[in-house]
Amino acid sequence: MKNVDIMLDNLSKSKFRSSFHLNNKMKNYVKEKGFDTIRKHAYEIISNRLKPEYISNDGKQTPMRQVHPVFIAQHACACCCRGCLEKWHKISRGRELSDGEINYVVDILMTWIKRECNYRDGD
């Protein structure tokens, strides 16, 4: 998790990335559904929208409005498109994401969401 924490600290220094936050409705959604369900949603979203080798609408596939907490986290964590994954996380485009890369992306998204919800392990 140390790499995730370092990356989130680096992202927090970006004016654009640090402008994203979960509103109360999104925080309540996370609380109602639980972190395990949100993590499952994150795996589904990343597998469908970022995993493929070629994405026809890359750079435009992730909504920026408050539709789901994972989408907001994707923008905050620079995991919204393959271009941002390459720039910020050094995960190259033009190939399918590996299972390890998907796990990394989901871990960073979930860590950000937990921070936004002021979640502490054991809560």
* pLDDT for position 90: 95
Kindly report whether the global pTM for this prediction surpasses the value 0.85.
yes
Tell me if 122 is assigned to some domain: no
Would you write out the chain's pLDDT as a tens digit for each of its 123 residues? Answer: 568 999 999 999 999 999 999 999 999 999 999 999 999 999 999 999 999 988 887 777 787 777 899 999 999 999 999 999 999 999 999 999 999 999 999 999 999 999 999 876 555
In a domain, 123, yes or no: no
Residue 64 falls inside a structural domain: yes
Number of independent structural domains in the chain: 1
DSSP assignment of 49-60: HTSSS--TTTTS
The verdict on residue 121 lying in a domain is no
**Is there a domain that residue 83 lies in?**
yes
Domain that includes residue 38, residue range? 2-116
CA dist 13 and 24 (Å) reads: 23
Looking at residue 39, its amino acid is: R
Question: Does 13 fall in a domain?
Answer: yes
Tokens for 11? 């992202």
Alpha-carbon torsion 37, 67, 5, 31, what sign?
negative
User: Quick check: is 73 in a domain?
Assistant: yes
Tell me, yes or no, whether 101 lies in a domain. Answer: yes
